């Protein structure tokens, strides 16, 4: 009871905003290189053995890495119910596309080596490509749409409404800025996957990963800068113009929001957040140079830093907005008006403090056990293994 009183409602809201970011970044840092390797698979492996080498670098860990995705969805559902309701409705088509692509990954891993047929295995390799490239692209497209504002409304019962038919909704998601953000995401995760392959493989697979990854890194660097410039001068930001109690009720309609100005105002109000895009650019640049120079461990670490900086820059730029509405700005979801109750956030925090260290410790132990390179000799020694 004493602890409950120590953690105020507004404090817990910020804590869970941070934890949501941690979960999403954790997903990108871990499952991100899985998706990157999948998207690179048809290009870094020219023979069946080489492709099996690439697959075996992620085969034992991808399921554990995907736990971060599940935790992120669970956190949205429990800590931010309005966000869950609005986003999973508005991005239903994107979610369906992501899930359909992700389903191909476990099926591809399990069935690829069940037959010796070259056509059979090549087909599953391209399925694994889709399972890596499509989610990486769609996640970026979703972020690009969030930065522009999602066209939803809230009625008096706080029920989200989306105008337009199926075709209009789909075309609305695939706008130029969102596609640019998608390219940033895809190229960044390709670089990340290449950094992982550089660490875990040798020979031709490693060389091809370095070559492709260095190009992807340059694309990520340039497109991230272009997306930032476009955001600064071509896209309106969102501003809360009314007084919103940080510990008030979770009702977005209680606040007044204007769709005007620029998102870059956040950097004038909180100059310290500029560290995020700086880290993003520095990490991508150093990872790209590391790939070209043939460095291994440091390249992967720099790649992780770049991803951390890029994703953090989005959250910090938008704060306190989580999901702005372009159709009805006053319905925009913020940290202060779209969370669960005080008690729910407190109980969830206690659970997170107990189980998160266990998950992190187990993950660290798994990577320690699986440390080392995967070679052609390893996979050819057991040609009928799962991967």
| Cα 190 to Cα 316: distance, rounded to the nearest angstrom | 24
Rounded distance between C-alpha atoms, residue 309 and residue 282, angstroms? 9
pLDDT given at position 281 = 97
User: Which pLDDT value is given to residue 248?
Assistant: 79
**354 within domain boundaries:** yes
Q: Can you give the pLDDT at residue 85? A: 87
pLDDT for the residue numbered 370: 82
Domain count, the chain: 1
Domain membership of residue 284 (yes or no) is: no
Tokens at residue 99, please? Answer: 């899930």
Is 97 part of any domain?
Answer: yes
pLDDT at 38: 94
Q: What is the pLDDT of residue 3?
A: 65
Longest dimension (CA), the chain: 67
Beta bridge partners of 239: 258
User: What confidence score (pLDDT) does residue 115 get?
Assistant: 85
Helix (H, G, I), strand (E, B) or coil at 140: helix
How many Å apart are CA 249 and CA 226, to the nearest integer?
Answer: 38
Residue tagged 């319905």 (tokens): 331
**CA gap 374, 46 in Å, rounded:** 16
pLDDT digits (tens, 9 = 90+) for 47-105: 988 999 999 899 888 888 888 888 888 888 899 998 888 888 777 778 888 889 999 98
Residue 212 lies in a domain: yes
What does pLDDT average to in each consecutive run of 10 residues of the chain (387 residues)? Answer: 74 94 92 93 91 89 85 88 85 84 89 86 93 94 92 84 64 86 97 96 94 97 96 92 82 86 92 96 97 93 97 95 91 91 91 89 86 80 61
- Sign of the C-alpha dihedral computed for residues 241, 242, 248 and 251 taken in this order: negative
In a domain, 165, yes or no: yes
Which among 76, 72, 73, 40 is positioned nearest to 55, based on CA atoms?
Answer: 40
Helices 275-293 & 176-200 angle (0-180, nearest 10): 50
- Strand (E) positions, the chain? 153-154, 160-161, 239-240, 257-258, 321-323, 333-334
Within a domain: 269: no
pLDDT score for 376: 80
Does residue 257 sit within a domain?
A: no
Domain around 58: 2-235+341-373
CB 184 within 8 A of CB 224: yes
Task: Confirm whether 96 is domain-assigned.
Answer: yes
């Amino acid at each position: 009871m004493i602890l409950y009183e120590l953690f105020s409602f507004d404090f817990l809201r910020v804590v869970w905003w941070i934890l949501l970011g941690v979960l999403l970044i954790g997903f990108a840092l871990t499952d991100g290189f899985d998706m990157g390797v999948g998207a690179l698979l048809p290009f870094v492996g020219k023979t069946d053995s080489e492709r099996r080498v690439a697959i075996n670098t992620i085969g034992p860990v991808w399921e554990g890495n995907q736990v971060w995705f599940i935790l992120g969805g669970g956190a949205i559902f429990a800590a931010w119910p309005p966000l869950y309701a609005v986003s999973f409705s508005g991005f239903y088509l994107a979610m369906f596309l992501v899930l359909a692509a992700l389903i191909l990954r476990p099926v591809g891993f399990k069935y690829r080596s069940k037959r010796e047929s070259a056509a059979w295995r090549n087909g599953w390799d391209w399925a694994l490509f889709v399972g890596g490239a499509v989610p990486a692209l769609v996640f970026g497209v979703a972020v690009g749409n969030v930065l522009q504002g999602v066209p939803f409304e809230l009625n008096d019962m706080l029920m989200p409404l989306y105008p337009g038919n199926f075709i209009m909704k789909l075309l609305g998601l695939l706008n130029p800025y969102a596609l640019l953000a998608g390219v940033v995401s895809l190229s960044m995760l390709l670089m990340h996957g290449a950094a992982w392959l550089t660490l875990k493989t040798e020979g031709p697979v490693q060389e091809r990963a370095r070559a492709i990854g260095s190009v992807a890194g340059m694309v990520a660097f340039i497109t991230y800068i272009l997306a930032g410039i476009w955001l600064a001068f071509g896209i309106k930001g969102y501003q809360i113009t009314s007084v919103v109690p940080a510990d008030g009720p979770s009702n977005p309609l209680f606040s007044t929001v204007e769709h005007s100005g620029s998102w870059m105002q956040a950097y004038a109000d909180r100059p310290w957040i500029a560290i995020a895009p700086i880290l993003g650019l520095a990490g991508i640049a150093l990872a790209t140079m590391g790939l070209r120079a043939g460095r291994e461990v440091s390249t992967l670490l720099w790649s992780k830093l770049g991803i951390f900086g890029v994703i953090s820059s989005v959250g910090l730029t938008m704060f306190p907005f989580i999901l702005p509405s372009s159709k009805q700005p006053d319905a925009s979801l913020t940290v202060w008006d779209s969370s669960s109750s005080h008690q729910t956030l407190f109980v969830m925090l206690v659970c997170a403090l107990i189980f998160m260290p266990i998950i992190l410790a187990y993950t660290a132990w798994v990577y320690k056990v699986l440390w080392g390179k995967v070679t052609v000799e390893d996979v050819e020694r057991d040609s009928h293994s799962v991967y």
